[in-house]
Amino acid sequence: MQHTVDQLIARMCDPQEKEAYFFADKLSKIGNQEVIDKLILILKSENYENAILAARALGNIEENESALEDLFEVIHSKENKLRNGIFVQTLEGYDLSDRFVDLFRLYLFGNFKTSALAKELLDTVEFELTPRVLKKIEKHWSHFKNNIDQNSDEFEIKRSEVEIMLEEIREIFSEE
C-alpha cells in the first residue's frame, strides 16, 4: 500500500500527467490518515497546481476532519488571497457546522468567487451557533463596514444579506 500511495502521489503531482485528477480521486478513495498527511503537505506546498489537486482529494475523503484546519490556513494565506476560490470550493466535502465565522469572513472579505461560494455555504450548511459566534460575526461586520465605501453596490448587497443573517441569528437566541 505504501508504495502505491507514493506512486499515486507522484503521478498526481507530475506536471506532464494529463490524468492528474484521476490520481487525486484514487488517493481520496484510499483516504487513510497516511494519505491525508501526505496530501496536507502537498496542500501547503508552494506548487499551486498540486495544492489544488491535494485540496480536491482531501475534500473527497470521507473522514477528512484532520485536514480542515490546514485547508483554512491555505485559504486565508496572503499568497492565495486572490486565487483561493478553488480551495473554498472543496470545503463542500467537510463538516462545517462549527465554522460559521470562518465562512462569514470569507463571504465579507473574499474575492468575487470566494465570497459567492462562502455565501452559498452559509445558506446551506446547518451550523452550531452560539452567542459567541454572534459576537464574532458582529465584530467582523463592523470591521467590514469601517473599511469599505458604504456607497458601493457591493456594500449595499452585503448589508442587506448580513442584516437578514444577523436578525435570524439574534432571533434564535431571543427564543431561548
Quick one: pLDDT band at residue 174, thresholds 50, 70, 90? confident
Segment 20-61, tens digit of pLDDT: 999 999 999 999 999 999 999 999 999 999 999 999 999 999
Per-residue three-class SS string for the chain: CHHHHHHHHHHHHCCCCCCHHHHHHHHHHHCCHHHHHHHHHHHCCCCHHHHHHHHHHHHHCCCCHHHHHHHHHHHHCHHHCCCCHHHHHHHHHCCCCCCHHHHHHHHHHCCHHHHHHHHHHHHHCCCCCCHHHHHHHHHHHHHHHHCCCCCCHHHHHHHHHHHHHHHHHHHHHHHC
Segment 90-146, tens digit of pLDDT: 999 999 999 999 999 999 999 999 999 999 999 999 999 999 999 999 999 999 999
